[in-house]
Structure 1
Amino acid sequence: MYVPEHFAETDLAALHAFMREYSFATLVTQHNGAPFASHLPMFLDAGIGPYGALLGHMARGNPQWQALTTGAEALAMFQGPHAYVSPAWYEPNPMVVPTWNFMAVHAYGPARILPQDELARTLHQLVDEHEQAFDPPWKLQLSRSMRDGMLGGIVGFEIRLGRIEGKFKLSQNRSEQDRRNVIAQLSQSAHGKEIAHRMSQDLERK
Structure 2
Amino acid sequence: MLIHPWDAAHDEAEWRAWLAGHDFGQLAVNGLPGEPPWVQPMHFRYDAEPGPYGRVIAHLARPNPLWRALETCPDVLLSVVDDYAFVPGPWAAPEDAPAAHGTPTSFYAAVQLRCTARVVDDPAEKAALLNRQVAHFQPEGGTEQVAPGAAPFGRLLPGLRVLDLAVTDVRAKFKYAHHKPPAVQDRIAEGLAVRDAPGDAAARAHQLRRRPAERG
TM-score normalized with structure 1 length: 0.88
CA distance 1:154–1:182, shift in 2 (3 Å): same
1:71-129 Cα offsets, whole Å, 9 max, x none, are 53100000111111123224452453111111111110211112332322222222222
RMSD, aligned CA: 2.0
Superposed displacement of residue 48, structure 1? 1.1
> Residue 99 of structure 1 aligns with which residue?
105
Q: Measure, in 2, the Cα distance between the counterparts of 1:10 and 1:164.
A: 13
CA distance 1:175–1:112, shift in 2 (3 Å): same
Larger radius of gyration: 2
* 2:175 maps to 1:175: no
Superposed displacement of residue 152, structure 1? 1.4
1:64-83 matches, within 5 Å, as: 64-70=66-72, 72-83=74-85
Q: Which of 167, 188, 191 is 1:161 aligned to?
A: 167
Structure 1 residue ranges, 4+ long, deviating more than 6 angstroms after superposition:
none
> Residue 8 of structure 1 aligns with which residue?
8
1:83-122 matches, within 5 Å, as: 83-90=85-92, 91-94=95-98, 96-114=102-120, 115-122=122-129
Unmatched segments (≥5 aa) in structure 1: none
Q: Measure, in 1, the Cα distance between the counterparts of 2:212 and 2:192.
A: 17
TM-score normalized with structure 2 length: 0.84
Unmatched segments (≥5 aa) in structure 2: none
- 2:30/2:73 contact within 8 Å kept: no
1:154-187 Cα offsets, whole Å, 9 max, x none, are 1101111111000110111111221122112112
Q: Measure, in 1, the Cα distance between the counterparts of 2:60 and 2:10.
A: 29
Matched positions, count? 203
Q: Measure, in 1, the Cα distance between the counterparts of 2:174 and 2:153.
A: 40
Superposed displacement of residue 8, structure 1? 1.1
What SS is found at the alignment partner of 2:191?
helix
Sequence identity (%): 23
> Residue 32 of structure 2 aligns with which residue?
32
Q: Measure, in 2, the Cα distance between the counterparts of 1:39 and 1:87.
A: 31
